[in-house]
Every structure is written in C-alpha cells, then in structure tokens.
Amino acid sequence: MKFQGSLAVVAAAAATLVEVAQAHCYIYSVYVNGVDTGTFQGIRTPAYNGPAPYGYANGPVKDLDSIDMRCNVLGDHQVPHTIQVKPGDNLTMDWHHDARTATDDVIASSHHGPAMVYLSPDPPADNSFVKIWEEGKFAEGVGALAPGKWATTADIAANSGKMNVRVPQGLKAGFYLLRAEMIGLHEAEVSYQKNPIRGAQFYPNCIQLEVQGDGEVELPEGVSFPGAYKWDDPGVVYDVYCSTKTTTTAPCATAYQIPGPTVWSGAWPATPSVALGPMTGATRAAATWDTWIVKSVVTSASAGKVLGTSTYEAQWSSTYHAPTPTA
C-alpha cells in the first residue's frame, strides 16, 4: 500500500461517519468446552471505521456484493493465533457491544434477526462456506403488536451474548475459518440496494481454527461470500415490525425464511450450552487505535497525529500461512 498523505481525504472520509455505534456487536472471545481462549484470540476483529473518539469496529456490513460480507472489514488479514479444537468440541462465542461484562447490552433490543454459523477451509475459496448452525424466529410474539422471539435478541442477547456450536463429528484435521453471523432486520423492509439508508444489517465475524485428530470427514461444497445472499431473498428483505404498525397495506408475514443454504447434514442436530469457566483477557476493546479505514482509505496515526493514508483492497491469499497456535 502506498501512502498518499492526503489529510483532505481523511477529513472528508471522517465526515461521512454519520451512523453511531448504537448497540452494534462483534465477537470478543471463544470458549472451547467452557474454557476461555482469551479476549480477541484467534478472531479476525473488524477494523475501526474512523479516528478516536468517533470510530468503532462493531458496525454492520450492508452491501451484499462487498467482500466484507466474508469476514467483515480487513477480514483477509490473518491474526497471530489460531484456536486448536477437536471434532465434537463445544464452541461458545462471546458477542458484545461495548465490553465483556454482565451489564453489556450485546446488541440493541430492536435488532431482531437470525444468527448463523458457517465453516470453511482456510483459506476460503469459491463455494467453500458450509452452514453448520442457524436460528431465526423461534416463537411468535404474545399480543398483536409483538415482533416475536428472535435468535439475536431473545436468545443470544438474552444469554449475555453467548452463541453455541459444535465442531462437526469426524471432521478432517486442518485449518478452518469459522464464520459466525448475526443479522439485524430492524430496517430490512427494503433492501440496501434500493435504499442505502435502510436495509438489513449483517454482522459477520471470522475465527481461525485448527482442527486436530484423525477424522476423515471433509466439508461438502458450500456457498461463497459474497454471493450466498441475494437482494430479493425473503430473509434479507423482511418487515420485522410489520405487526407493530397501526396501519399497513398488506398482511404481515409471520413465517421467516433464514437466508443462505440449509444446514449441512453432517453438522450436529443440537448444540447444548456448556458451563463456562472464568473469563481470560481484557473486558474492553482498546480505548485508542492507530489505524482505521473509511471507504477503502486506510489512515495511520501516532499519538493523535496522522502519518499518512493508503488505499486498501482486500487480498485473499490462496495459500495458508500458519499463525502461532494458542495454548
């Protein structure tokens, strides 16, 4: 990346940050069989989208055609550690908004929607992401003006941000990317393609895994990101608050179709929660940062002083470069 040194570009980009980080979310840590691997260990944490104190790293992706749909912003960048697991292990992802605390809201109470988990060999390729878990709308609301119970709010947020999945039985040893995702449908009555101010909000986050053991099961063909979701998918365009409106021109849809493929038959049919041990690592994200990205412009700074800018374009390698495993 070549530095351009244009502070005017930075100022203009920063001025576009009109959306606030109100109860957005990402994964802070992963527990393996109840043991915490540590804050941000093995997680490709999204990049900050602006300078302190206005930027944040927990914003959504809304453009279905963007490479950011794969693992969020800067998702092509490997992190220094990977998480070692075995087939059958229970993984508990710890989602949060501001901090890993019991009082954190995880995600806004209005951000109803589904949650999914995909698994892909690392590095991913075309059609390599296989869905191994999903949950959508699991109960109708009580009363005429209730939107129902959803994975994001009535399950994950209600359980302090915990999302559970199991490593598929007999999975072949190797390096994988686990792509966990929550979708907020609170503005999804129209697609982002038709109205960029609205649209479904996608919160993908990728985790580096090393599966160990002597398993022989290989993942089948999956889907690509971007590409798995379409602009007119009923699970992408959905009026989650239709039933709460006093007037409407059409009947409210009560059924909800989760976007993407069906869950792979080789995934576990159920993923029970497990008892969690003590938390390891910081409770909050870094209070300050020295790199951020806005509209493909990367800004580097030190001690509050901008050093320069560069143009970013995702570069997904076709060759795996093994990071250092966690303990």
Instruction: Tell me which residue has tokens 């292990």.
Output: 89
Average pLDDT over residues 280-305: 81
> What percent of the chain has a predicted confidence (pLDDT) above 90?
62
> What pLDDT is stored for residue 19 in this prediction?
41
Question: Which is higher by pLDDT, 33 or 16?
Answer: 33
Average pLDDT over residues 188-205: 96
pLDDT at 110 over 50: yes
> What pLDDT is stored for residue 130 in this prediction?
98
Question: How high is the mean pLDDT of the chain?
Answer: 87
Question: Which is higher by pLDDT, 8 or 24?
Answer: 24
CA dist., res. 94 & res. 32, Å (int): 11
Structural domains of the chain, count: 1
With 0-12 CB in 10 A as exposed, 13-18 as middle and 19+ as buried, what is 122? buried
Structural domain contains residue 10? no
Can you give 291-313 as a three-state secondary structure string? EEEECCEEEEEECCEEEEEEECC
Residue 246: CB partners within 8 Å, gap ≥ 6? none
Instruction: Out of 33-42, 99-108, 245-254, pick the least confident.
Output: 245-254
pLDDT per position as a tens digit, 45-71: 888 888 777 777 788 999 999 999 999
Question: Which is higher by pLDDT, 292 or 212?
Answer: 212
The boundaries of the domain holding residue 130 are 23-287
> What pLDDT is stored for residue 287 in this prediction?
57
**3-class state of residue 74 by DSSP:** coil
Structural domain contains residue 75? yes
Structural domain contains residue 41? yes
Give me the CATH number covering residue 131.
Answer: 2.70.50.70
Q: Give backbone dihedrals phi and psi of 305, rounded to 5 degrees, phi first.
A: -110, 125
pLDDT at 144 over 80: no
Structural domain contains residue 197? yes
Read off the DSSP letter of residue 167.
P
pLDDT at 141 over 80: no
Structural domain contains residue 264? yes
pLDDT at 316 over 60: yes
Average pLDDT over residues 86-112: 94
CA dist., res. 253 & res. 265, Å (int): 28
CA dist., res. 128 & res. 73, Å (int): 19
Instruction: Out of 14-28, 205-219, 283-297, pick the least confident.
Output: 14-28
pLDDT at 212 over 70: yes
> What pLDDT is stored for residue 14 in this prediction?
38
The pTM of the full predicted model, rounded to 2 decimals, is 0.89
Taking CA atoms, 246 is separated from 240, 242, 252, in Å, by 14, 9, 12
Structural domain contains residue 1? no
Question: Which is higher by pLDDT, 174 or 306?
Answer: 174
> What pLDDT is stored for residue 288 in this prediction?
59
Structural domain contains residue 66? yes
pLDDT at 210 over 60: yes
Structural domain contains residue 317? no
Span between the terminal Cα atoms of the chain, in Å: 33
Instruction: Out of 107-111, 179-183, 299-303, pick the least confident.
Output: 299-303
pLDDT at 108 over 70: yes
Average pLDDT over residues 7-35: 64
CA dist., res. 40 & res. 206, Å (int): 11
Nearest alpha-carbon partner for 229 in 92, 134, 156: 134
